[in-house]
Amino acid sequence: MYRARGRIVLGSGSPRRRELLALAGIELTVRATGVPEDARDGEGPHEHALRLARDKALAASSIDPGAVALGADTIVVVDGEILGKPRDGAEAVRMLLSLAGRTHEVLTGWALARDGVLLTSDVSRTEVEFRPLTHAEASLYAATGEPLDKAGAYGIQGQGALFVRAIRGSYTNVVGLPLVEVLAALLDAGVIAPCEVAS
């Protein structure tokens, strides 16, 4: 468990990122930035995730001067194609079937900034292997609504876990934030400190 040594803001409205940071005891303020998430021409998946994380961190830091802002963006990549959040149930089914029986990448770009200055940033990568899926399974899952606000149309922390055969890398990265890496960066920046154990 950690305690904040200053104000921390999260430049994201993601409830999953808030929940992951809360597991570590970190209290923060949410500052959704409204940064557009469209990919740019010629931009690869790694560059895309990193750019969005940096843009979100910088935008949130300008909203809340003096605070350390954390920006993050998670994408799913298969065959070099970025799968964002599905627009509707039909697109969710198409995404799920494109992942079925295969291994894909989950990339999360993350960045820390203060007063419009980037402190650090990186991209974390996890491989996720799906079992084969039928069209009916994908449709039933899409009908739950769970996939509609998630990159790649599944939530590994929810019913989407039923499709995952194996993961290689950080589990929390697939949820939306590589917690070990981000906590290490916050510690290095002096933004958080370990809680002391009462004797």
CB–CB of 123/184 below 8 Å?
no
Asked, for residue 184, whether it belongs to a domain, the answer is yes
Half-sphere exposure of 168 (CA within 13 A, CB side): 6
Q: What is the pTM of this model?
A: 0.92
Asked, for residue 31, whether it belongs to a domain, the answer is yes
Q: For residue 85, how far is the Cα from the chain centroid?
A: 12
What domain range includes position 184?
2-193
Q: How many domains does the chain have?
A: 1
pLDDT tens-place values along the chain, 199 residues long = 888 888 999 998 888 999 999 999 998 898 888 888 888 888 999 999 999 999 999 999 998 899 999 999 999 999 999 998 899 999 999 999 999 999 999 999 999 999 999 999 999 999 999 999 999 999 999 999 999 989 999 999 999 999 999 999 999 999 999 999 999 999 999 999 898 765 5
Asked, for residue 22, whether it belongs to a domain, the answer is yes
Asked, for residue 49, whether it belongs to a domain, the answer is yes
Asked, for residue 199, whether it belongs to a domain, the answer is no
For 137: left if phi > 0, alpha if psi spans -120 to 50, otherwise beta; the answer is alpha
**Annotation marks residue 73 as catalytic:** yes
Asked, for residue 133, whether it belongs to a domain, the answer is yes
From 55, 64, 73, 115, the catalytic residue = 73
Whole-angstrom Cα distance, residue 161 to residue 138? Answer: 13
CATH at 177? 3.90.950.10
